[in-house]
Chain A
Amino acid sequence: MFAELDDDELLSLAARRPEAFGAFYERHAEALLRFFARRTLDPDVAADLTAETFAEAFVSRMRFRVRFAGGAVAWLYAIGRHQLGRFYRRGAVDARARSRLGIPEREVGADDYERIEELADLASLRGAIADAYRSLSAPQQDAVRLRVVEGRPYDEVARELGSTEEAARARVSRGLRRLTEALEGQAPLAVRGEVP
């Protein structure tokens, strides 16, 4: 029923017909997940960001107004970038929108891990990642290794580094950001359907 509608029409309809938002979600969920995965290099974080972005979009859909063609997708990715920026600042993904809707925080299964990596084409980035990693400072390397590679919680990362948890989060965030910048410089993230 919603297949004939474009994104702007779907999102506008979703204000009165919540089920229309489901159609909008199906069209853009993987792309948004890929968007986050290539910027965070962390399937867990990417999945959480995707969930929180769609939850925030669902809660705020009443305020959407079509101003130009393709505005709905741009609006969705604006919410996503806002969530991504908040993650970089705080080192954790927000969950307020999901809490408001009663959506539980879910874990990413092992199968999903591989699928997300394939989706984001993370394998092709391994060499670039290694080079980018070596370009990090020693504290950033340690922070990224402990958190991203070994999956340690931030309090353990802080203890290992001999710093506060906030400082540890900041080091991980900055390290990943530098990795992302380095990766973007070497392998443009121009994937079909993705809005830069």
Chain B
Amino acid sequence: MKTEIRFLQELREDLAKAARLESEPSGGRSPRRPRRDRRRVLQVVGAVAGVVVVLSGIVGYVATGGGSGSSKAYVGSRPPHERSIEGDSDHRVLGRLSPGDHPKAQPSSSPAGVPPAGGAPVPTAPPEPAGAQVKVIKTARLELELEKGTFKERFSEALRIADTFGGFVQSSSTGGDKLRFGGMILRIPVGDFEDALAALRGLGRVERQQVNGRDVTQEFVDLEARLRNALVEEARLRAFLREAPTVEASLKVNQVLSQVELEIERLRGELRYLEDRTDLSTIDLELAEKAPKEEEPKPPAQPTHETFGGAWRKAVDGFFGVATSVVVGLGYVLPLSVVLLLAGAIIWALARLVRSRIMA
């Protein structure tokens, strides 16, 4: 070669050597990649494999919901600190009846011991007025938990609530020394029942609440009807007594009249009771201070060998957890990797084709 530049001469020799290697009977194999090139390829392959494994682990961890040992304890369930204020299974939500509702008729019973009038037609009681007023007995039981040291204040506040709503305390009791507790039976006008109950709930944390409503309209109507009948019968018997022809007849009529009068008193008593129960609702209120949280005794320090054993078990669990996550993640990542590799290979081939066209 006619050049004085040694670099070019050496390059000429290097190219000639490469040409000879190609021409060798071994079939013109390309010269072996230099070690540095192979190492670089291994580095790239290793890096890609590492990325795939890490990515698989992350994908697998997410897919398995945070590992094999995780639990979804509170999904779909209520946290333990939440309590239903509905209370017992026999709880009935109180509802207001509309004035037009007609409660189921209850069988009426005739008073015992009242002999039917002999032969004489019994005047019927006048018919009950249309649209009878609804009568409902409203009761509630409310158990409240109070902060320690607040019982006296809350108890007094409950008395004030009863007074505010035009009610009164039927009975009350208190007790306890370190933790105070007590209760009261409140009678509240039925129209203010719900408001009074809501006000009482605000005194503390509701542990339990039970509200009941018993419709006694039919009972009331029935008692009134029976009372009217009994009054009519009483009036008839008094009239008959005045006109009794004989002493014997007078005695018999008087005996029946006494029974009817007793029946009238009984019926009136029942009516008064019902009126009292329906005009005034009943709230059974229980108040109790809660005990402060006791500190859980700290478990004694584990001896070293037990701690190590627990750590070893955790390590083994963690190993299998990670391995599981990686395996699951590979199921997601490998198909995607194949697609990406194919796309990359196509793009690379197209780029080489374009470059060769440019060079040609």
Residues of A within 8 A of B (CB): 18-19, 21-22, 25-26, 29-30, 33, 47, 50-51, 54-55, 58, 60, 63-65, 67, 71, 75, 78-79, 82, 99-104, 106, 108-109, 111-112, 115-116, 119
Q: Are A65 and B16 touching (Cβ within 8 A)?
A: no
Complex partner residue of B8 from A29, A67, A75, A82, CB under 8 angstroms = A29
**Which residue of the partner chain A has the closest CB to B355?**
A82
Complex alpha-carbon distance, A71 and B358, angstroms:
12
Return the contact of A99 from the options B19, B22, B34 (Cβ within 8 A): B34
Contacts of B31 in A (CB 8 A): 100-102
> B1 an interface residue at 8 Å Cβ cutoff?
yes
Task: Assess A111 versus B8: contact at CB under 8 Å? Given A19-B19, A101-B31, A103-B15.
Answer: no
Residues 215-259 of B, flagged 1 when their CB comes within 8 A of A and 0 if not, give: 000000000000000000000000000000000000000000000
| Interface of A, helix, strand, loop or mixed by DSSP | helix
A112 adjacent to B7 (CB under 8 Å): yes
Tell me which residues across on chain B come within 8 A of A109, comparing CB atoms. Answer: 6-7
Contacts A18-B23, A21-B15, A26-B12 given; indicate if A108 touches B360 (C-beta within 8 A).
no
Which B residues lie within 8 Å of A111 (CB)? 6
Closest A residue to B1 by beta carbon equals: A26
Please judge, given known A-B contacts A99-B36, A119-B5, whether A78 and B18 are in contact too, CB under 8 Å. no
Residues in chain A near residue B4, CB distance under 8 A? 115
User: Complex formed: what's the CA distance from A58 to B23 in Å?
Assistant: 13
**Which of chain A's residues has its CB closest to B357's CB?**
A63
Nearest A residue to B30 via CB reads: A100
Tell me if A106 and B5 are in contact (CB < 8 A).
no
Q: Which residues of A contact B3 (CB under 8 A)?
A: 29-30
Assess the B356–A29 pair: CB atoms within 8 A: no
Quick one: CB contact mask for B1-41 with A, threshold 8 Å, 1 for yes? 11111111011101111111111000000111110110000
Distance A50 CA – B3 CA, assembled complex (angstroms): 14
Contacts of A71 in B (CB 8 A): 360
Check if B73 is an interface residue, CB within 8 A of chain A: no
Q: Which residues of A contact B2 (CB under 8 A)?
A: 26
- Residues of A near B5 (CB, < 8 A) are 30, 33, 112, 115-116, 119
Asked whether any CB of chain A lies closer than 8 Å to the CB of B359, the reply is yes
Task: Collect the chain A residues with CB atoms within 8 Å of residue B18's CB.
Answer: 18, 55, 58, 101-103
CB distance A18 to B22 under 8 Å? yes
Complex A-B, nearest 3 residue pairs according to Cβ-Cβ distance, in ascending order: A18-B19, A102-B31, A101-B18
Neighbouring B residues of A58 by C-beta, 8 Å = 15, 18-19
Q: Are the CB atoms of A78 and B359 closer together than 8 Å? A: yes
Say how far B118's CB is from chain A's closest CB, in angstroms: 125
Q: Is the CB of A29 within 8 A of B12?
A: yes
Instruction: Give the most central of B3, B12, B15, B20: most A CB within 10 Å.
Output: B15
**Judging by beta carbons under 8 Å apart, are A60 and B11 in contact?**
no
Instruction: Return chain B residues, CB-CB under 8 Å to A55.
Output: 15, 18
Cα(A30)–Cα(B6), bound, Å: 11
Q: Of A21, A33, A104, which one neighbours B19 at CB under 8 angstroms?
A: A21
Tell whether A75 pairs with B360 under 8 Å between CB atoms, given A29-B12, A30-B5, A30-B8: yes
Known: A18-B20, A21-B15, A106-B10. 15 other contacts (CB 8 A): A18-B18, A18-B23, A22-B12, A22-B15, A22-B19, A29-B3, A33-B5, A50-B11, A58-B18, A58-B19, A63-B356, A75-B359, A78-B359, A101-B18, A112-B7
Task: Name the residue of chain A whose CB is nearest to the CB of B37.
Answer: A99
Which A residues lie within 8 Å of B17 (CB)? 102
A67 to B360, CA, bound (A): 8
CB distance from A16 to the nearest CB of B (A): 10
Closest to A48 in B: B7
Say whether B359 contacts A60, CB under 8 Å: yes
Known A99-B33, A102-B32, A102-B34: A112·B6 in contact at CB below 8 Å: yes
Nearest to A55 among chain B residues (CB) is B15
Chain B residues numbered 302-360 whose CB sits less than 8 Å from any CB in chain A: 356, 358-360
What chain A residues lie within 8 Å of B7 (beta carbons)? 47, 51, 106, 108-109, 112
Among B11, B36, B358, point to the contact of A29 (Cβ < 8 A): B11
- Minimum Cβ distance to chain B for residue A82 (Å): 8
A103 touches B14 (CB 8 A): yes
Chain A: which residue is nearest B40 at the CB level? A99
Asked whether B15 lies within 8 Å of A100 as measured between CB atoms, the reply is no
| 6 pairs, CB–CB < 8 Å, chain A vs chain B | A47-B7, A58-B15, A99-B36, A100-B33, A102-B32, A109-B7
CB distance from B139 to the nearest CB of A (A): 82
Report the bound CA distance from A62 to B12 in whole Å: 19
* CB-based contact A78/B36 at 8 Å: no
Nearest chain-B residue to A26 (Cβ)?
A: B1
